[in-house]
Structure 1
Amino acid sequence: MLIAAKLIILIVAVLHFYFLWLEMFAWTTKAKKVFRSFPEDLFEPTKTLAANQGLYNGFLAAGLVWSLLIQDSVWQLYVALFFLGCVAVAGIFGALTASKKIFTIQALPALIGITLLLLDHFL
């Protein structure tokens, strides 16, 4: 797998570990500064919902890290494409339903990673 693709996968994984931390452990503190357009009075009542969302982000991050540790190149490619695809779909959905900014932060890096993996595989 291309070095650039692995770097992108690592960056996307780190971002999702950050999302996990923010949504599971810092929702009522640091998240208020990150999600400024979210009504402040809703942070406490949505704490468990955010934690659930953070857990899913952690699964995405774990899958991406796993893809970097797989020795078989074909399996490594498939696992990386699967998890990057999940991130891209989540980012596109978030951009359509919540904030356009989500596309740039979440979907675009995943799409770049997918592109790099496919270019490496087919060229």
Structure 2
Amino acid sequence: MILIGIEHLGIMVLEIWGRPEFQAQAFGMPLDFVRQAAAQTALANQGIYNGMLGGTLIASQWLLNGPGRLTTSALLLIFVIIVAIFGSLTVNRRIFWLQGVPSIVTLIVLLVTLA
């Protein structure tokens, strides 16, 4: 969970403060598009969501215990998986491999520990 949280904090940094050249390459977008003010605003908005998700994934591991922690962890992982599937279908298939697969593996491990 913590590694997935750190990954999303890294995505936040790239989306909010990354150089347009890195953003274009990472997200498979034309550089001319990424340099536009509207695109930078949209990326920063996505960055806030990724940062809040990453922070919540990490904080939940320290702030919650028992069933609340497990339920919150599972819900956040399912959220990441759904977003990764959508992103892989609409933006770039790499998103599924970089975000979805680690979250699926973590969710499976979480569910196995409950059994």
Is TM-score (shorter-chain normalized) higher than 0.5? yes
The RMSD of aligned alpha carbons is 1.4
2:65 aligned residue: 72
**Structure 2 residue 80 is matched with structure 1 residue 83:** no
> What per-residue deviation string (whole Å, max 9, x for no partner) do you get for residues 36-82 of structure 1?
x3111011211000000111101110111122113422111011111
Alignment of 1:1-123 (within 5 A): 9-35=1-27, 37-45=28-36, 46-122=39-115
Letter of the structure 2 residue corresponding to residue 43 of structure 1: V
Question: 1:98: how far off?
Answer: 1.3
* Aligned pairs, number: 113
Residues 64 and 49 of structure 1, relative CA distance in 2, 3 Å threshold: same
User: Which structure 2 residue ranges, 5 or more long, are not aligned?
Assistant: none
4+ aligned runs moved over 4 Å, structure 1: none
Given that 2:21 and 2:31 are in contact with CA atoms closer than 8 Å, whether structure 1 keeps it comes out as no
TM-score (norm 2): 0.90
Structure with the higher fraction of residues in helix conformation: 2
Q: Distance in 1 between matches of 2:100 and 2:33?
A: 26
User: Which structure 1 residue ranges, 5 or more long, are not aligned?
Assistant: 1-8
> What per-residue deviation string (whole Å, max 9, x for no partner) do you get for residues 65-112 of structure 1?
122113422111011111111111100111111111111001111111
Q: Distance in 2 between matches of 1:101 and 1:29?
A: 18
Higher relative contact order (CA closer than 8 Å, sequence separation 6+)? 1
